Structure formats: C-alpha cells, structure tokens
A = this chain, B = another copy of it.
Amino acid sequence: MTTSPDQATSVYIGAFVDELARAGVRHVCIAPGSRSAPLALIIARHPALRTWIHLDERSAAFFALGMARALGAPVALLCTSGTAAANFLPAVVEASSAGVPLIVLTADRPPELRDVGAAQTIDQNRLYGGYAKWFVEVALADATPELLRYARALACRAVATAAAVPAGPVHLNFPFREPLVPSAIESPIGMSDGDALAWHGRPDGAPWVTVNDASPVATPETIERIAAKLSRARRPLFICGPQFDQELAAPLAALANALGAPLLVDALSQVRWGTHDRHTLIDRYDAVLRNEAIAAALIPDVVLRIGALPTSKALLQYLQCNATAQHIVLDAAEWPDPTLLAAEMVHADPRLACHQLLAHITKAGVGSDTDWLSAWRRMNTETSAALTTYLAALNEPFEGAALAAVADLLPDRSTLFVSSSMPVRDLDTFASGDKRSLRVLANRGANGIDGVVSSALGVAATRERDDGPLVLVIGDVAFYHDMNGLLAARLRMLDATIVVLNNDGGGIFSFLPQAAQPAHFEQLFGTPHGLRFEPVAELYGAQYHGADTLEALREGVTAGINGTGLHIVEMRTDRARNVVLHRAAWARVASAVTTRPDR
C-alpha cells in the first residue's frame, strides 16, 4: 500500500489520537497554531474527545491542570512550535510538583528546519527538563504498519506514564512536514468502517495496550512494625497535610480514632470536611500552636504525617520543636519532609496503608493517654468558640472572616479552590470543618500564584450535573496574574464564582520580616497596583459584585453559587489593618485557651 505524505500524516496522527481516546483521555486543551494543525484537526473530529480552546498557552496549561486534578485522570494539552510551548512550563512544573497527570503535545519543525533560523522554531527537545516524567521525540509521520503500531502504543504509554504513581506530566514532541492540513482527513476516525488504512485499532474500542500498573503497597513487615510503633505511643499525633485522594478520610480518621490520636487536618487534606468519623479531628491547630506556651504543653512522642507540607507555619515550627518524637512519613512515592526529622519513610499508598494498619490495631494494644486526645479536643473547641465569637463581631472587610464566610456558605458537594499565598492560609486558620462533603483544592505543588484562575476554571469545566458550585477565593496579585484565564469562562459559559480579596498588593509580605524594612517595603513587597477589577468583569461579560462589608460579600457569593455564568465578587481590604485583625484573633485565642492538664 502506498500513501501520499498528507495521507500518511492523517493515518498516523489518526491512530495516535484515536488511541489517546481509547486509553481514557476525554479532554484536550488546544492553543491555536499552524504547525499543530494535523493534531488539532484530528482531535477536533474525534467523537470521544472534547476540545477546549485557549489563546494564552500559560492559561491553557493551568486549565488542563485543574481539569486533571478534578478528574484524577490525564488531560491532554496541545500547542504549536516556539515560545507557545515555553508558556506551558509553569503549569508543567506545578503538575510535576503536585502529581497531576498531563499529556503535553507540542508540534515542531522537522529536523531539516531546526536550528537554521526558520520561523517559530526553537529547540523543543526536553524543553521541560526534569519536569516531564517522560519525553519522546516522536517519529515523523508514516503509515507503515510498524509506525501505526508505534503511534498507538505511544499514546497508551503516554497516558499510563502520566497517571502512574507519582502522577505527572509527559511531553511528546511531534515534528511535522508540510502539508500541515491533511487531505485524507475527510474520513474521520471512528466514523468510517471501510477505511483500508487501518485507522481502527483493536476490536470493541479496546486500547492497543491495556496498561496494568503496580500500586505502591507497604510490605506486611513494614505495616506490622509501624502498627506496633503507633500502638505503643502514649501521645501519638497524626497530621494530614494537603492531599487530593477523596477516599483517604475514612480509613485515616478510623485509624486515628482507634489509636486515640489527635488528627490535625489541613484545609487541603480532604479530611477537614466530610461524613467520616470526626471524633479526633483537630482543625484549629494553627491558631492554637501560635501560642508558645500552649505548644510547649503538647509534646507528642510519635508523629504520623501524610500529605504535603502543611499550610500552617505554626504547625511546621511546632514539629521542628519536637525533634525527639518519632516522625513517620507516609507517602506513595515522594519525600515530603522539609523538617528533615523523619525517622521512618513509608512509601505506600496512604489509603491502602491506613486500611492495613487498622487491621493490626487491637484495642488492648493501644497505649495512648486519654488526656492527650482530650486536651487537644478541648483546646480545639475553646479556640473554635473564641474565633467564632471574634469573627461574628466583625463586619469590616477582614480576609480571615471572608474565608470563613465563604466556606460556611458552600452547599454540599461544592468545590472550593483557594489561591496562594494568603487565601489558603486564612482558610486553614479560620474555617472550621463539618460534615458537609466539600472538596478543597489549590495549586500547592510549587505554591505559585500563577495560573490559579485557569486551574479553578478547569475544575469548573469538569462539573457534573449533581456537583455543587465552584468557588475560587483569590488575592488581587494572583487574580491579576491570570486574568487571561477568564476568557475560558466567557467562551464556554462556565459557572463559577470568583472572590477577589483586593488588598492592593502582596498581603503576605506584611507578615514577614521585610515588613520591618519600611524604606523599600511598599516598592519591593507591598507593590500597590491601584487596580479595581470591575472593568475586568465587563471585559469578560462576568457579573460583578463589589463588597464593602462581609455582609455584602456573603450576598455576592450567594448570588454566584445560586446563579449561572461567571460571578466576580471583589472585596477591598487594607493590608495593614489585615495584619492587626489577624494578630487580634491570635491574641483572643491565646487568652481563651487554657493549658491545664486534662485529667
């Protein structure tokens, strides 16, 4: 069989794209371009793939990241050659750091047009360095049986590699010769039976390779030893940092309860909210541990840590002060221990490990002091009461109160996306957990403020009929950084509510030592920009709600979560006043919580 070059491109790329779909990919984010036309045209025609067009590749990649995070499955991403591909890097870095599966497809010139000054041509070989789990310089199109098998196997491997623990981005670089617009494309994949050029893969839509990946499971010996250590502990402490397995909460909470261990749950742990056993849950530790006297009275002997670095700096400092405790870190594959205190690193899927450990815990074998857990629970209750009273008395625009208010307003099955740097911290400090099923997401791989709008809208784009609303809370600098991401909401009429806490600059720096350097503080760190965002709502056709009070904020958010389309709720706050109100909250907690022993 002989084929023309453009037919070969169609058949070869057709096989690859078809196989992406067979391997489970459902969404492709596409930034327009010419060199990428063969992939774009075939993706657009594939009946099982949904396309999402973005004009800014940086936003496109973060949108794909948000989708992949929400779906827990690989999402593909396509752009043309040149700096377009370079704009993907921030999201590729975040995907790598946060364990999010992405399939990055870049179009490139063929070898003869590289490094000779051709237009829009850069060296795309390993463009993302170590951030791509797998890089493939894909073969030029050809329609031989061997190359069609290669194209199909390549797609299966790309999907499986991106999803394998730890998940992350893979990068396939496709060289294309002209013609870039295949003529044979008139016969789309999956819609023509009689195609002699082997468009079709295995029967019944099966993938070319069904990849059966291993799951990281601790050995029985490890489980037995760790279970014994935990059982023997008198003052065991569990800490669950940011993680995105919605099924971890139940076995982890059950294990903590069986051991009488306080379970400190980060706002991003997916354990703070939910219907699982809530008896040992501690959600006010950030405020509690800011008081040195209280922190010093709570000395754990065994610490079990799951998830990424906790959001709370007070907790991190508390851990560092408790170096003599046995620190056990449980993670599927990474080494999340910036304290450098881990005595045991357990590489295993945390959910499976909790189930296994639970099976080894006997009531008789548990040695924890009952007053250990009760002291934590009492302090948590006292702190909660103090903070609730404090916030209830405020109506002035305070960022901590805003996060608590937004979290309280969310109906069951909502998703709350929070931005770095202050919203995630304020949520962690000021929002208390309950039985609602809430998903709380953030870009906490590299903790960047970039791409947050797009990531949240990517989550919104995956919303199913019975899901609750998506609300994003974001500061002004992060919002400004990714305003381009709002175009997706306009083009696809996504339903989302974005709460912008506008303190006219970098609010977090007022909490850091540079705040004591007034000479250059506003110039280098405060960085006021003077922007008000109502024109941005107008530009993108969003509903705008200006909020001068917490009450107005609640009204705006309520309108957003009950409405359709994009809602932007902007609350202006004052950076200096914000610091004062934070410190007043902590002082209130310190005076409300007693350190008497629980007997």
Contacts and interface: CB of A to CB of B under 8 A. Distances in A.
A540 B89 CA distance: 28
A320 to B, nearest CB: 12
A204 interface: no
B506 A32 contact: yes
Given A514-B34, A535-B539, A118 B86 contact: no
Max chain B Cβ within 10 angstroms of own Cβ: one of A41, A44, A55: A55
A309 B119 contact: yes
Interface in A420-467: 446-448, 450-451
Tier of interface size on chain A: 35 or more
A152 interface: no
A45 B520 CA distance: 8
Interface in A335-351: 335-338, 340
A94 B121 CA distance: 10
Contacts of A32: 506, 509, 524-525, 527
A27 interface: no
Contacts of A527: 32, 53, 55
Contact of A37 (B57, B115, B130, B514): B514
A491 interface: yes
Interface stretch (A246-254, A262-270, A478-486): A478-486
Interface string A531-542: 111011011100
Interface in A69-116: 82-84, 86-87, 89-90, 92-94, 97, 112-113, 115-116
Interface string A514-536: 10110110011101011111011
A205 interface: no
Interface of A: 30, 32, 34, 37, 40-41, 44-45, 51, 53, 55-58, 82-84, 86-87, 89-90, 92-94, 97, 112-113, 115-123, 126-127, 129-131, 179-181, 185, 308-309, 334-338, 340, 446-448, 450-451, 477, 480-481, 483-484, 487, 490-491, 506, 508-509, 512-514, 516-517, 519-520, 523-525, 527, 529-533, 535-536, 538-540
Given A34-B509, A123-B130, 5 more contacts: A34-B514, A56-B480, A83-B446, A116-B338, A123-B129
26 contacts: A32-B525, A32-B527, A40-B520, A44-B523, A44-B524, A45-B519, A45-B520, A55-B529, A56-B480, A57-B450, A83-B448, A84-B450, A86-B93, A87-B90, A112-B340, A117-B335, A117-B336, A123-B130, A123-B131, A127-B129, A180-B514, A181-B513, A487-B531, A535-B538, A535-B539, A539-B539
